[in-house]
Amino acid sequence: MTGTSRRTVLRGLAAGVAGPLLLRAAPAVTVVPLAAACAPGRDTVQIVVVWSGRELEMFRRALNSWEERPPIQLISAGNGIDSLIRSRIEAGNPPHIAVLPQPGLLTGLVADYPDDVVAHPHKLARWPGWPWRDLLTVSGTLYGVWLKATHKSVFWHRLRRGFDVSYQPGTLHQLRRDLVTAPDAVLGVGAGDGWVLTDWFENALLGIAPGVYRGLTDNTVSWDSPEVAEALRWLGEVWSIDDVLSGGPQRALLTQYDQAAIQVLGNRPGIGLTFEGDFIAPALAPYQKSKLVDLRLGTFRFPPKEKEEKEDAFPLVVGGDFAVLLKTGDRATDTAARRVVEWLAGPEAARLFAAHGFLTIHEEAGNAEYLTSVRDELPASNLPNLLKDLAGQLRNPGSSVEFDLSDQLKGRLAGGDGQGIWRLFQDFFFTVTRPDADINMVVDDAQRALAAAAPEA
């Protein structure tokens, strides 16, 4: 998942439609009353997005920087975007463009509405191939364009003795051993965001058994497999290390991912570490400016079970959001929408996204664009360089790369605030970090709960 803001379900859905968001006072961006949100004005391109908060603000700025844009209306749907689009298609009034967070949603829309989802109108000559093209390809046809990508296999840490710029544990066992033996190691876990805990699990499982990871996504492997138990047990052993969690496990369950990072990466004694995606960097930037967060930061990859000589063989869990063109039947606005998608697929849009601190896999985006404001205001900060390295890893991933597992699950395991696999992992975290916890028993209970919630194979 890319962050809490994207996951926030915006209230105010009426008949499957969320209210439009006012971007800024610009002629090309229109706002209509909630009751009229289904019917944008003539020549207006309607875009339904999953974002809210900072991510939506970044998208707003990118669109407003495009001088030749047609009139655009944004609707923020949050986690309800799939049902919104389906209800709009059924009513004969689909939006022109949908920004989706899960390739599985695209697969379902193409299967159910093959005449309403438009094949990609732009040749992606400057985009990497596998796995990014494959994720948006259905039955041999490419749909959509990636707007931003997410690297979800990285630890962030303050540079201290034992955890310097070259630190990279080779195995899961080594990482756990280093956390145990470093007396001043403090780990920030934003367990208040259930997707943070599933990201931990996904990386551990991908490093242990890539085939099992893939089997869970297509429901050909059972959740009670021994490899799932091994990943859960490793998580329990790490999270229950004495005094390793910042503020203790109860505080962690009330802490979001960005708060956890700020807690342990601030200017304080000891070795501070936190695990999450590249989006940690933009969250930290304001605190580096105010000198509340240490300027000397480093990163290392989530390690595999067995020692690997090449970094590109390390597990890599990725996420991202992509734009898909839909057919409305109005030739004028469909043509304008096609032009919007082609612009979103181009280098100008990619550079604008990158300038706001989000990773793009577009080869013409230019690594120098990342967090330019941070570089100008904080010359000592290495956040731009760290993001540059992560972007390079996304463009040239190794063999063990998979899309976020919780974003591909369906039914009762589908992630969401307080539900599905996110809630089950918060329950697991709460139980396994209790002082009297029997890890093996907790793992057995967690597996039973996961298997019970999974759809039948």
CA atoms of 44 and 334, how far apart (whole Å): 10
Alpha carbon distances (Å) from 240 to 222, 245, 246 = 26, 8, 12
pLDDT of the residue at 131: 83
How many separate helices (H) and strands (E) can be counted in the chain? Answer: 18, 12
Q: Which of 16-30, 164-178, 327-341 has the lowest mean pLDDT?
A: 16-30
pLDDT of the residue at 199: 98
CA atoms of 263 and 387, how far apart (whole Å): 21
Residue 33 contacts by C-beta under 8 Å, 6 or more apart in sequence? none
Tokens at residue 204, please? 């551990």
Asked if residues 456 and 412 have their Cβ atoms less than 8 Å apart, the reply is no
Reported as a single tens digit per residue, the pLDDT across 427-457 is: 999 999 999 999 999 999 999 999 999 987 6
Q: Are strands 145-151 and 137-138 parallel, antiparallel or unpaired?
A: unpaired
Q: What is the pTM of this model?
A: 0.86
DSSP 3-69: -HHHH---S--BTTBPPB----S-TTB----GGGTTSPPTTPEEEEES--HHHHHHHHHHHHT-TTP
Asked if residues 405 and 221 have their Cβ atoms less than 8 Å apart, the reply is no
Please report, in angstroms and rounded to a whole number, the separation of the first and last CA atoms in the chain: 25
pLDDT of the residue at 65: 86
Of 419, 421, 414, 415, nearest in space to 447 by CA: 421
Q: What is the average pLDDT across 331-356? A: 88
Reply yes or no on whether the pLDDT at 24 is more than 60: no
Residue 381 contacts by C-beta under 8 Å, 6 or more apart in sequence? 285, 288, 295, 374, 375
pLDDT of the residue at 372: 57
* Lookup result for tokens 């304001």: 286
Q: Which of 117-121, 167-171, 321-325, 331-335 has the lowest mean pLDDT?
A: 117-121
pLDDT of the residue at 15: 32
Reply yes or no on whether the pLDDT at 36 is more than 60: no
Question: Cβ atoms within 10 A of the Cβ of 373, count?
Answer: 13
CA atoms 282, 283, 286, 287: torsion sign: negative
Residue 37 contacts by C-beta under 8 Å, 6 or more apart in sequence? 17, 18, 19, 20, 75
Tokens at residue 219, please? 């429901």
Beta strands in 143-239 (DSSP E): 145-151, 154-158, 185-188
Reply yes or no on whether the pLDDT at 108 is more than 60: yes
pLDDT of the residue at 391: 85
Output DSSP code: residue 411: G
Asked if residues 73 and 29 have their Cβ atoms less than 8 Å apart, the reply is yes
Output DSSP code: residue 91: T
Tokens at residue 455, please? 């759809």
Asked if residues 299 and 166 have their Cβ atoms less than 8 Å apart, the reply is no
Q: In the structure, what pLDDT confidence band is assigned to residue 61 with cuts at 50, 70 and 90?
A: confident
Q: What is the average pLDDT across 400-408? A: 89
Q: In the structure, what pLDDT confidence band is assigned to residue 126 with cuts at 50, 70 and 90?
A: low
Q: In the structure, what pLDDT confidence band is assigned to residue 64 with cuts at 50, 70 and 90?
A: confident
Q: Are strands 137-138 and 154-158 parallel, antiparallel or unpaired?
A: unpaired
